[in-house]
Amino acid sequence: VEEMMIRSEKMSVAGQLAAGIAHEIRNPLTSLKGFLQLLQAGVKRKEEYYNIMIEEIEKMETITSELLFISKPLTDNKKMESIAAMIHDVVVLLQPQAKMKNIEIEYTISKKEQIFCDRSQVKQVLINLVKNAIEAMDDGGKIRLITHSTDTHVEINIVDEGPGIPEEIIHKLGEPFFTTKQSGTGLGIMITKQILERHHAFLEIKANEQMGSTFRILFPVIMN
């Protein structure tokens, strides 16, 4: 009985996800069909329509590649990894995007801090959170990556100067497809939480309405 219950619970999560995917893909498809019909009818503003169509296709591309990431059987390759090196890689990767928005990414980390983790998965977590920070800031500013360790935990804080997060939506962050962005997928925090679970780590979100947000990742020092 217990097994059956677990199985049916899984089905409903899969069902939920499928419904979400269908919805996310159907909207751009409907809009693509509409624009193709307009073009077929021989409208004038072709260039404009082409641009919107490309945007819709790009949205579907992003969603499908993020879904592929989720569906990949993640094989953990856990080792002791330097936090500084992972943060450095991610900052190098996202620097161009930040610069374009006049955002400075600042990080101070001691070379010693290490965690037992899968390097590419933790980098994916950092990419998701730093990207969100960049996307949250509209007129420049600073993103700070601050690490800190205690006897029991190593933490990484991603602190931005964006608008913060309204209290009434904070609990929705990490629900599949929850986004407040025009071209968001609403999968970033969900993926982040999944990866952190695999590392017995967790995510804390601190946000004031107005004073920016802090996403804090806590890795336990003792790993199994």
- Positions that interact with ligand ADP (CB under 6 A): 128, 132-133, 136, 160, 162, 165, 173, 178-181, 184-189, 213
> Taking the complex as a whole, how short is the minimal distance between the CB of residue 208 and ligand ADP, in angstroms?
11
- The minimum distance between CB 182 and Mg ion, in angstroms, equals 13
The residue among 38 and 93 lying less far from ligand ADP, judged by its C-beta, is 93
Structure tokens at 187: 């999968």
- Residue 213, contacted partner among Mg ion, ligand ADP, none, CB below 5-8 A by kind: ligand ADP
Residue 214 interacts with which of Mg ion, ligand ADP, none, CB < 5 to 8 Å by class: none
Record the tokens describing residue 146, joined without a space: 């601050």
Q: Which is nearer to Mg ion, 83 or 125 (CB)?
A: 125
- 104 to 143: interface string for Mg ion, x by CB under 5 A: ----------------------------x-----------
135 burial class (0-12, 13-18, 19+ CB within 10 angstroms)?
middle
Residues 222, 123: Cα–Cα separation, whole Å: 20
What residue number has its CB nearest to ligand ADP? 188
- Residue 213 interacts with Mg ion (CB under 5 A)? no
Residue 162 binds which of ligand ADP, Mg ion, none (CB < 5-8 A, kind-dependent): ligand ADP
Among 188, 191, 192, 218, binds Mg ion (CB under 5 A): 188
* 146 SS3 class: strand
Binding site residues, Mg ion, CB under 5 A: 132, 188
